Structure 1
Amino acid sequence: MSFKDLQLRKTIRRAVAEAGYDTPTEVQIKTIPHILAKKDVIVSAQTGTGKTAAFALPILNSLLDQQDAPKKGKTIKALIISPTRELAIQIQENFKTYSTYTNLRTAVIYGGTSLEPQKNILKKGIDILTATPGRLLDLHKQDIVNLDYVETLVLDEADLMLDMGFIDDVRKIERLCTREKQILLFSATIPHKVEYLANTILNNPERIEVAQNSSTSKEVNQLLYYVPKRNKIELCLHLLRNTIGGSIIIFRRTKFGVDKLEKTLLKNGYKVDSIHGDKSQTARQEALNRFKNNDVNILIATDVAARGIDINELDAVVNFDLPNIPETYVHRIGRTARAGNSGEAYSFCSADEKNYVKSIQELIKLKINVIEDHPYSMDPKAKTIIHKSKNPKSKHKKGRKSQASKKKKKRWY
């Protein structure tokens, strides 16, 4: 099937072709006709399946007849709500690309940056707005944003949005838009709370499922290392020195963990940067740009900060902490081996994470290759540690115990 078969107009198809896309993806084939028919939809699809274009293309197509309104007379007709700044920026970039040959005006607003430039853009009049919930409601309170003319409301990454506590904001935004609007809900997974939200705000929606969330690319070489928790940093340094090279993303579960690992790698001379929720938008964007421009080759991130970020040509993904949601594992390692390239996925499993491995392997229907030949190996069945090497050379400095601490001390227990 081609984009022409999906009834998309010539100006949109031309921009899509120039962006390098010849044929629509499964989610686009299943979703675009329903959106063009003005139906509400619930779409379950992972990032990387082409879902942004699945809503961006039909929205642009539908607004073409209204594209020539005078700039000042333009009103927000399509509103896309995104949970994170990075995702919002990426969605805006997609809209910008696909609207190249139209007079439709698009904009993005998000927190963590100055209000004034965003106010100025909005005052000029726009057709399509992408926004994070907090900043949108801020500007609405100040009468800068008018949602009275919204024809299409998109809730992107709905599961993440609700996990981040945006449920009340989402409901408020939905009520501020016109009653007759079309609602498009996109989510990687459809847990109970997303289902409940959909049932309360969508009108007889079409349900579309793209079941790619359980499969991993054959081009990704998946490797599993059983290692005591206290030795994970040592193992990471060992692999960076001897095995892993190129462009790498390392995933950690917490912001504290990200900062700790970043300090250690910097101390050991690695070119590294990080992104997590406590960093300012500017700092996160700068870190991303440095990574994309190869000024640093290692990026350490939490899942929330990295969700939806479009980074191609990764050589390796390291799961320093295994995710407790198996789909997240698929999502993480799917960032490497894109566009026909091969890639590596390294996962560190401590004793308390063994159940996560079980869930992941059940989902992907694959046994991950266990690597035992490393200095910090842990028996996956018992909790004993097998020392492969008595003196593994590591640049990671260990603190020395003082003589006083070596004396037998009385314990309170």
Structure 2
Amino acid sequence: MKLFVGIDVSSKNLEVSMLTSDISAKPLFQGTFENDLNGATEVKKLILKLNLSQQFEKIVIGMEATSIYSFHPAYFFENDDDLAQFNTQAVIINPRDTKKYKDIFEIQKNDSIDAYYIADFLRLERYSTSLVRQEKYVALQRLTRSRFELVKSLSRSKQHFLESLYYKLNKLVVNDDLNTSVFGATMLDLLTEDFTTDDISVMPIEELADYLNSKGKGRFANPSALAKTIQKAIRGSYRLDKAIQTSIDVVLSVYVNEIRLFQKQIKLLEKSIDDLLKTFDEAQILQSIPGIGPVYSAGILAEIGQIKRFENQSQLAKYAGLAWKKYQSGSFNGDNTPMIHSGDTYLRYYLIEAANSVRRYDPVFARYYHQKANEAKHSPHKRAVSLTARKLVRVIDVLLRNHQIYQKEKVV
């Protein structure tokens, strides 16, 4: 007989329901504990007490993924030494799955009912792999997820900066001849700190070129041509009223400071990620794939954890959300197969970004990408890179399971 413990987690409480694999039997326990170390310990003691009399062959403790609230209890139950002696598994369940299951039987909603149906859902033994990992994977995940969020914030700040810059220098923002990024340190100083727009528009080309060459420490290939492009774009841009110009300058200054702050914070995180990544044997395996460096390998490893948590590559792909809905009935097969809207967002992001990089360095992945892009009727790049990421999952799964370095002749 097996024991299934369903826990409905909130910020303050753990609503617990305990069922056995005997579907005709009544719940062994139904009650509420505080969501803290003391409450989780009480739940553990109750499980051990029941196990003493029932001798369960397996104990499954499950709860829904509820942001940060489910992390501590799941981690506690998964890593408790007393529970580990009795074939105990702690799992995190997609709330969408348990809601669909509960809606079949119940229209009411409260924490007690939810806990019962979580336990009842566990009895089907169709739950996914646990999110709980060893300490170093959790530590790496905190770093990589924080970097992910900072990168998103940096992208938003850059977008807002470009919008404001368009008001001030519309011709510069849309100029295709500007062979450098406006987010480089030299360009940001030029456009927001060192000179006014009027100063740049009347400045001799030689002087502006010398500024670019000196400030950029010789990194610009042709500072004179760049100086001419910048000056021409400024002279061709619309002029603003003084009041509007002042307000735009203030906004640009705020976003420049924000961009630089995010860039600095991302570098600090990447340094910590790189230091921690050196303790992972799997990092060398992933980085043997052309196009995958420390950032992508860290993000992928942090979300996957130990590859043995997944039965096969198909389960890993579904966990990442790299799966597509199929519409088939009789002889009809739908052409539109959208990607599922579930799975680990972070893992999907890192796999797709990594695949987009790998296809630039590996000819096998490049051919596959172009093949899928040519077949796609809508959004060719988006669909092709997603399918390339799905192909990458198969390669990563083989490499990690066999603990081998990437060799395209043997693997792909």
Give the TM-score normalised by structure 2: 0.22
Q: Which has the larger radius of gyration?
A: 2
Give the TM-score normalised by structure 1: 0.22
Per residue, is there more helix in 1 or in 2?
A: 2
Structure with higher RCO (Cα < 8 A, 6+ apart) = 1
Per residue, is there more strand in 1 or in 2?
A: 1
